[in-house]
Amino acid sequence: MKEGMALSDPGSVGVDPGLLRDYDAQMRKAVRGGLMAGCASAILRQGQLVQGAGYGLADLDTKVPFRADTICRVYCMTKPYVLLVFMSLVEEGRAKLDDPVAKYLPAFRDVRVVGSDGALVRPKRSVTLEHLALHMSGIGYSAGFGAPPENDSQKSYAALVESVASGKVRSLKDFVGRLAKLPLRFHPGEDYEYGFSIDVLAHVVEVISGRSIEHCMQERVFKPLGMQDTGFAVEQSNLCRFAACYGTAQIWGNLYGHIPGKVPVTTRPGLVRIDGDSAKESAWCKGRECQIRAGGGWMAQNQGGLVSTVDDTVRFLRMLIDYGVSGNGVRLLKRETLLRMELPSPLGAAIGRDICIFGNIGGYVSGGSEFGQGGHASTFWSLDRKDAVAVVWFAQHLDFWSWDAEVVDPEKADIWKMMHKAVHTGKGQGLKRERSCMEAGG
């Protein structure tokens, strides 16, 4: 970990160190057993770093170790940073959550919805900025990552994504304008579907601020937090720290099987290299990156979205832990604004969904209270104020959704289950610090 991120004694903040050791052993087994090339993780309890380590390799060909400063594609983990920028504009009075999207993007005045009989009808209500933030707008995604579309709606989205890949669409403004012409999948506010909503919100930010979403993210989030390795492309000088991305032969075939003469690079069985045969061939290498700064984290089959590191994400989480204040004392958001982002939404409750602006609530541990965000290549962060625990876990694997019980113990390898148990079995330790900085606020 970087300077200023020294490890604290787990027992001093009520964490069972034995379970941390068990987790560490399972990560080493996972790497040796070929489940993944490598990963890195960090855990904060009561604002103190109690675990931080890298395991295995960031690149099987170059043999570079996976570390906390390894640069990774974070895909949909881009979304929280857009939402943070957007809410800073709301805080400044430059927008309201219940504003109709059409107030800023006129193309949405004529939006239509696919009715129950397949006919296009007018929406029952306007799409609002809050609908976008909560993925309740009716805007969806295509199948993604080369998978064939399953219905007419996915075909329309797939055609739009292909227009980005071919270079026909080269700006977020153009992309969102074309997106507005596609029918909504449901009436705004009546359901939930993950999709391009945050990309639309990113363009709203551009319209309100008069600046690109990339500039706004740098000035309002990354620079104040010292997130030096987070951005939309990897500089040539940093390619040595850029992790390779792996997946199965099936996902490689979906993405590249149509290219004559192209063959997969498989240095280790079961781990096929995705996104170029080397770092300099990546779609995130500076000069090759997607021209559309994807606020939602995904564009053009396998392009777009941010890259970041565990170290940078820890800086972001420390700010959340301290309710909007960075490590050097700069306030990014007011406490009440952050609480508005992380507490359950009444709109979500109305459709039976436990969601907040930051994402789903309780999605990591059954019955948990944490909120957070993940990315398709297995990058995750979460924050649980009840247990005063923040977790970051980064790998670069597009198909890594569960642990193989023949290689590791899934209960001990799952960092969220492990940490929940480690906190509750370690409660007799460190009680003098029970009122955490998370609970005290900023």
Q: What letter would DSSP give residue 332? A: -
The CATH code of the domain at 10-70+243-281+309-440 is 3.40.710
For 203, half-sphere exposure in the C-beta direction (CA atoms, 13 angstrom radius) is: 25
Taking 50 as the pLDDT cut, the residues of the chain under it are 3, 428-442
* Cα–Cα dist 299/312, whole Å: 23
Does this model's pTM top 0.75? My answer is yes
pLDDT tens, position by position, 96-144 = 999 999 999 999 999 999 988 889 999 999 999 999 999 999 999 887 7
Output the DSSP codes for 235-281.
-GGGGGGBPPEEE-HHHHHHHHTTSTT-----SBTTBEEES-SSGGG
Q: Where in the chain is the domain with CATH 3.40.710.10?
A: 79-211
Nearest to 404, CA basis, from 138, 137, 29, 21? 29
H or E element at residue 363:
none
Which CATH number applies to 79-211?
3.40.710.10
* 134-153 tens-digit pLDDT: 999 999 988 777 677 788 88
